[in-house]
Amino acid sequence: MNFSSKLIEQAVNAFAMLPGIGRKTALRLVLHLIKQDKNTTESFADAIVKMRQQIKHCKDCHHLSDAEICSICADTRRDKTLIMVVETIRDVMAIEETNQYRGLYHVLGGVISPIEGVSPYDLNLTTLLKRVSPTVKADGSEAPSAVKELIMAISPTIEGDTTIYYISKQLMNKKIKVSTLSRGISFGGELEYADEMTLGRSIVGRVPYKNNP
Amino acid sequence: MNFSSKLIEQAVNAFAMLPGIGRKTALRLVLHLIKQDKNTTESFADAIVKMRQQIKHCKDCHHLSDAEICSICADTRRDKTLIMVVETIRDVMAIEETNQYRGLYHVLGGVISPIEGVSPYDLNLTTLLKRVSPTVKADGSEAPSAVKELIMAISPTIEGDTTIYYISKQLMNKKIKVSTLSRGISFGGELEYADEMTLGRSIVGRVPYKNNP
């Protein structure tokens, strides 16, 4: 593309660097900003730079946070006996959207994948083990961890299952319940369109019918 | 969406303000920037703020420009006898992409549209008339304008045709040729899929066959 302006070209290149934004879309965004007044562009840029400079990862659960401890971990009304183990930050947001869960989270940052070169040491596992281990008090005695259950909300793939297996092995000696999300046919989905694997597993893993679910 | 972070929420809102970017896409862009190092985000923001603060409109042709006069108007190798009149900056870019035109441009900033409340006074017409008028020299004598032809590269719509008619009326007393882009069936298009209007007009406006086009 011929921009006849270095400034436009640099701004287009900046936008086009973002995922899913090509040079035509980038140009449309730049021309949109030119139509707005200068303050709009400045506050747009400010919000992004400020976010990038100040955003932290919660040192307990590794979720994105404005402070050292994220607002979920800091919320005293949440159930501290439950930790949901997820792959990414987006998973936390998706689960929060459901409004079905009031426990805490732990963001692994991925799953074990030898093909992609992700080993258990690349995941946030040390902090997870620390969270479920007894804390040593000042007098040397141990206080048991508040956590009673880990819910593995990991993608139902080979890598995901490997990760769940690895973590459950690490927790063998600890008195902690490990559960996974239920798997089966989707709500509102038509049986005939479910894939064979899902349908097969949902038959094997059938549950007793409850009249009042 | 529940972001559990004010910083993320503000950055997502900033991106979502752009045209064609929803909140889900905005979140994807924000999470992408968090994965990059801080300098990437800063240079991204810098390029955009700098562009918005320093970009000008060429005072001759109203195209976007880094200086008072844009690089097209300032280019001495271009044909100053030709001015192509276009609606928007994007049209200039599209025509420059063809590499078929070596004259100058004039960006109107729109077309006359009573429905959308765009009158001739909202368009960049004063400067266009000035460009095609004789210049008065220091000794009071008049030097004829260098411009010999105006090419109307305006959309073939009712509003576009009205605009072309209006401009040609304004230029009646001036010895300037006014032409429009040729209209007809598209190159590489199949005849049967051309719309009736285009096909009908291309029959009325048929041209003599040249063996060596």
Grade residue B212 by pLDDT with cuts at 50, 70 and 90.
low
Dihedral pair phi/psi, residue A141, rounded to 5°: -80, 160
Mean pLDDT over the full length of chain A: 88
Residue B56 pLDDT > 60? yes
Q: How far is CA A58 from CA A95, A118, B4, in A?
A: 18, 22, 11
Class of domain A64-184+195-203: alpha beta
**What fold characterizes domain B6-54?**
Helicase, Ruva Protein; domain 3 (1.10.8)
Q: How far is CA B93 from CA A176, B53, B150, in A?
A: 64, 21, 18
pLDDT digits (tens, 9 = 90+) for B179-202: 888 888 777 777 788 788 888 887
pLDDT digits (tens, 9 = 90+) for B109-127: 999 999 999 999 999 999 9
Mean pLDDT over the full length of chain B: 88
What percentage of chain B has pLDDT greater than the value 90? 54
Chain B residues within 8 A of A21 when measuring between CB atoms: 29
- Interface touch A7/B44, C-beta < 8 Å: no
- Interface touch A52/B70, C-beta < 8 Å: no
Whole-number Å distance between alpha carbons of B66 and A34: 13
pLDDT digits (tens, 9 = 90+) for B26-52: 999 999 999 888 899 999 999 999 999
Strand partners, B82: B149
Mean pLDDT of B65-80: 92
pLDDT digits (tens, 9 = 90+) for A168-190: 998 888 888 888 888 887 877 77
Residue B145 pLDDT > 90? no
Give 3-state DSSP helix, strand, coil % of chain A, rounded to 5.
Answer: 40, 15, 45
Of A4, A7, A65, the CB nearest to B96: A4
Chain A nearest C-alpha distance from B165 (Å): 28
What percentage of chain A has pLDDT greater than the value 90? 54
Residues of chain A with CATH 3.40.1360.10: 64-184+195-203
pLDDT of residue B86: 93
Residues of chain A with CATH 1.10.8.420: 6-54
- Using CA atoms of B146, B150, B153, B154 in order, give the dihedral in degrees to the nearest 10: 120
Residue B204 pLDDT > 60? yes
Mean pLDDT of A26-39: 92
Residue A209 pLDDT > 80? no
Residue A72 pLDDT > 80? yes
Chain A residues within 8 A of B54 when measuring between CB atoms: 7
Of B31, B72, B93, the CB nearest to A90: B31
- Interface touch A52/B29, C-beta < 8 Å: no
Chain A residues within 8 A of B17 when measuring between CB atoms: 40, 44
pLDDT of residue B33: 93
Chain B residues within 8 A of A65 when measuring between CB atoms: 4-5
Q: Chains A, B: CB contacts under 8 A, how many?
A: 161
pLDDT of residue A155: 86
Say what the pTM is.
Answer: 0.77
**What fold characterizes domain B77-181?**
Dna Topoisomerase Vi A Subunit; Chain: A, domain 2 (3.40.1360)
Strand residues in chain A grouped as ranges (E): 56-57, 64-65, 79-86, 103-107, 135-136, 142-143, 149-153, 177-180
**Do A120 and A109 form a contact (C-beta atoms < 8 A)?**
no
Grade residue A77 by pLDDT with cuts at 50, 70 and 90.
very high
pLDDT of residue A212: 55
pLDDT of residue B211: 63
pLDDT digits (tens, 9 = 90+) for B73-119: 999 999 999 999 999 998 898 888 888 889 999 999 999 999 999 99
pLDDT of residue A97: 85
Residues of chain B with CATH 3.40.1360.10: 77-181
**Do A52 and B43 form a contact (C-beta atoms < 8 A)?**
no
- Interface touch A52/B38, C-beta < 8 Å: yes
Strand residues in B108-154 grouped as ranges (E): 135-136, 142-143, 149-153
Three-state SS across B153-166?
ECCCCHHHHHHHHH
Chain B nearest C-alpha distance from A98 (Å): 10
Mean pLDDT of A117-146: 87
| For helices A38-54 and B23-35, angle between their N-to-C axes, nearest 10 degrees | 50
